[in-house]
Amino acid sequence: MKKLLLILAIGCVLSCTTDNHSSKTECTSTKFIHAEKIQFPSLDSLTITANLYHNDNTLPVIVLCHQAGFNKFEYTKIAQTLHEKGYNCIAIDQRSGGHVLESFNETFSVAEQNGASVEFVDAEQDIIAAINYASKRYNKNVILWGSSYSATLALHNINENKNIDAVIAFSPGSYLDPFKGSLKDKLNITEMPMFITSSKEEAGEITALLEGSQLNENQIHFIPKEEGSHGSSALWKTGKNNQEYWQAIFNFLERINI
């Protein structure tokens, strides 16, 4: 399938550096990198469009999944920063999403044209297909990263996909339990590395979700000290106390050393 080179030019990107004296992470502007527009089939053969931020075949790969109403451009700046830190990233358009940030969700458009359902649970097959694609392309397991509803789907797959090595989940919830079974029960039995966070207001819901779980050293529930934000947009430069989230993410990635 033909791959198109896309030059992303949607504002400044972030580069995060750590002050060795204070251990505080600071994010500053840096150059743009080129993302490659790729396409691959979902489990039902619907075409998924994604942005590939390739770094090196030997480096870890992160699959980035957006929140409701969004698209792959939720991760434009986030993926740039992760790329600079030594990760390959694939930011996908799920069929359950929308056209925002002056950008289009191409998978959503194709789903609408084909009369496919675009509910949250319908996007699970897109996420699984992206995991499998990334794992095959880089010949290694992936770090799966979700935002809001996609974080919930990521955690529902935490014990079910052999191609996942760790999960990062921003603002998950139990609202898909009627379709997927109890997320709380799944988290109670997993030993996979995971990083779960949310806004400070949502932290109580995450605590309830993890009730009964005996978290190991590679399983982190990060509660921000300040207000924070919903979903992965908590890491945006415009996000409240985004530096706090970035530091926690880097600490987790360094800890699991995948």
Q: Residue 247, Cα to own-chain centre: how many angstroms?
A: 16
Identify the bridge partners of residue 18 per DSSP, sorted by sequence position: 25
Question: Within a domain: residue 27?
Answer: no
Q: Is 35 helix (H, G, I), strand (E, B) or coil?
A: strand
Which of 6, 135, 15 has its CA nearest to residue 63?
A: 135
- Please, are residues 36 and 5 in contact by the beta-carbon 8 Å criterion? yes
Predicted local distance difference test score (pLDDT) of residue 20: 36
Question: Within a domain: residue 112?
Answer: yes
Rg of the chain over Cα atoms, rounded to whole angstroms, equals 17
Question: Within a domain: residue 22?
Answer: no
State the DSSP code for 94: P
Predicted local distance difference test score (pLDDT) of residue 211: 96
Predicted local distance difference test score (pLDDT) of residue 31: 61
What CATH number has the domain bearing residue 210?
3.40.50.1820
- Measure the CA–CA gap between 66 and 68, rounded to whole angstroms: 7
In the chain, the number of structural domains is 1
Question: Within a domain: residue 62?
Answer: yes
Question: Containing domain of residue 217, as a range?
Answer: 36-256
Q: Is 26 helix (H, G, I), strand (E, B) or coil?
A: strand
| Tokens (6 digits) for 144 | 């799966």
Question: Within a domain: residue 191?
Answer: yes
**Helical (H) or strand (E) element with 131:** helix 124-138
Q: Is 52 helix (H, G, I), strand (E, B) or coil?
A: strand
Matching residue, tokens 């996909």? 161
Question: Within a domain: residue 26?
Answer: no
Question: Within a domain: residue 98?
Answer: yes
- Measure the CA–CA gap between 167 and 195, rounded to whole angstroms: 6
pLDDT tens, N- to C-terminus, the chain (258 residues):
333 333 333 333 344 444 433 344 444 445 668 899 999 999 999 999 999 999 999 999 999 999 999 999 999 999 999 999 999 999 999 999 999 867 899 999 999 999 999 999 999 999 999 999 999 999 999 999 999 999 999 999 999 999 999 999 999 999 999 999 999 999 999 999 999 999 999 999 999 999 999 999 999 999 999 999 999 999 999 887 999 999 999 999 999 998
Q: Mind listing the pLDDT tens digit for each residue in 11-29?
A: 333 444 444 333 444 444 4
First to last CA, the chain: 30
